[in-house]
């Protein structure tokens, strides 16, 4: 198993290098000039001499492969470079944004799991009953609503009408509530449908039918179902963590939550390429590590599962 893990990690490193090259190439050919954006934001009168000097200082006049090679060597050494926007190191910005995004994503994931897991189990056990139809209806509605629409509706109801929460998230627990709910509602809808489907498939297995025929208690059967479905559930959750970390951009922008999504959106506007590339590498690494850990955990829970 160790050899397989090492081989897979080696392949994933190659994937990260290819991903970084493609994103670097897209930024290279994208319209917009980081030097011009920086000078404009500082109120500097732009002339050809000033613009060329700023481009040379930022290293934008070097050939593409030279720029990419220098950036890649810096990343290998753990140096994410200097921001084009304010000449600050990129790494502390990414760490601060990643910490806030992790708080938002993991809190949303925890809320979704403690709600969706029991609902999915009840819905699967009482298949085609009234409870099942109600749970499936709410999961369908929650899964169908986009995050930004939920955010706007919650903002209008809880912030403007009832004045219970601040419109702009301030980084505290009260400011965390609205972004968490906006992410948790559609995620709960997806989890309920996926976990319910896994439980229904497992309930058709012979060992479950045999336990029911022998009169085994419902509680013991449910515990066996939960144990045998954990591998699939962990895979679903692992994929969702990666999506949450990179996909909470809209929510962070709406509520002004100081996460990595908002940082990247501001960086895209400012053509701050070092921050954007740092974000790509971090998100790619998170996806790689989480998927690898998920495969190992699934194999540990069920040795029949291939890594």
pLDDT tens profile 116-170 = 888 888 888 888 889 888 988 888 888 888 888 888 888 888 888 888 777 776 6
Domain boundaries, the chain: 2-76, 90-301
Q: Which of 261, 235, 256 is nearest to 102 (CA)?
A: 261
Confidence class of residue 57 from pLDDT cuts 50, 70 and 90? Answer: confident
- In angstroms, the CA 35 to CA 39 distance is 6
Instruction: Report the sign of the C-alpha dihedral through residues 179, 180, 181, 186, in that order.
Output: positive
Cβ(89)–Cβ(83) below 8 Å: yes
- In angstroms, the CA 262 to CA 93 distance is 11
CATH number corresponding to 90-301: 1.10.3720.10
Confidence class of residue 21 from pLDDT cuts 50, 70 and 90? Answer: very high
Hey, how many other C-beta atoms are within 10 angstroms of the C-beta on 54?
20
Burial class (CB within 10 angstroms; exposed 0-12, middle 13-18, buried 19+) of 78: exposed
Confidence class of residue 238 from pLDDT cuts 50, 70 and 90? Answer: confident
When pLDDT is averaged across residues 262-284 and rounded to a whole number, the result is 87
Hey, how many other C-beta atoms are within 10 angstroms of the C-beta on 229?
21
What Å distances lie between residue 135 and 142, 199, 294, CA to CA?
A: 10, 15, 28
Structure tokens, 84: 């084009």
Runs of H (alpha helix) within 30-89: 34-41, 48-58, 64-76
Q: Which of 118, 130, 261 is nearest to 191 (CA)?
A: 118
- In angstroms, the CA 148 to CA 175 distance is 17
Cβ(175)–Cβ(185) below 8 Å: no
Confidence class of residue 270 from pLDDT cuts 50, 70 and 90? Answer: confident
pLDDT value at residue 154:
86
Confidence class of residue 307 from pLDDT cuts 50, 70 and 90? Answer: low
Hey, how many other C-beta atoms are within 10 angstroms of the C-beta on 59?
15
Instruction: Report the sign of the C-alpha dihedral through residues 271, 273, 277, 283, in that order.
Output: negative
């Amino acid at each position: 198993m160790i050899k397989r893990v090492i081989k897979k990690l080696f392949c994933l490193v190659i994937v990260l290098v290819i991903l970084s090259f493609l994103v670097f190439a897209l930024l290279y050919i994208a319209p917009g000039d980081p030097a011009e954006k920086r000078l404009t934001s500082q109120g500097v009168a732009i002339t050809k001499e000033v613009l060329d000097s700023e481009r040379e200082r930022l290293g934008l006049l070097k050939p593409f492969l030279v720029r990419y090679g220098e950036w890649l060597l810096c990343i290998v050494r753990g140096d994410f470079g200097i921001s084009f926007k304010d000449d600050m190191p990129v790494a502390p910005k990414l760490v601060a944004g990643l910490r806030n995004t992790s708080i938002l994503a993991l809190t949303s994931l925890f809320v979704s799991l403690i709600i969706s897991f029991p609902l999915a189990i009840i819905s699967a056990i009482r298949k085609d009953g009234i409870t099942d139809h109600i749970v499936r209806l709410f999961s369908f509605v929650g899964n169908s609503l986009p995050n930004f629409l939920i955010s706007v509706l919650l903002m209008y109801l809880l912030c403007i009408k009832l004045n219970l929460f601040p419109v702009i998230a301030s980084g505290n627990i009260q400011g965390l509530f609205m972004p968490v709910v906006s992410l948790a509602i559609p995620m709960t809808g997806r989890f309920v449908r996926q976990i319910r489907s896994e439980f229904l498939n497992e309930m058709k297995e012979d060992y479950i039918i045999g336990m029911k025929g022998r009169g085994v208690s419902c509680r013991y059967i449910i515990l066996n179902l939960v144990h045998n479905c954990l591998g699939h559930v962990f895979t679903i959750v692992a994929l969702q963590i990666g999506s949450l970390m990179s996909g909470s951009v809209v929510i962070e922008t709406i509520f002004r939550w100081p996460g990595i999504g908002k940082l990247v959106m501001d960086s895209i506007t400012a053509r701050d390429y070092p921050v954007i590339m740092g974000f790509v590498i971090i998100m790619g690494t998170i996806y790689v590590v989480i998927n690898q850990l998920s495969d190992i955990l699934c194999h540990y829970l069920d040795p029949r599962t291939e890594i």
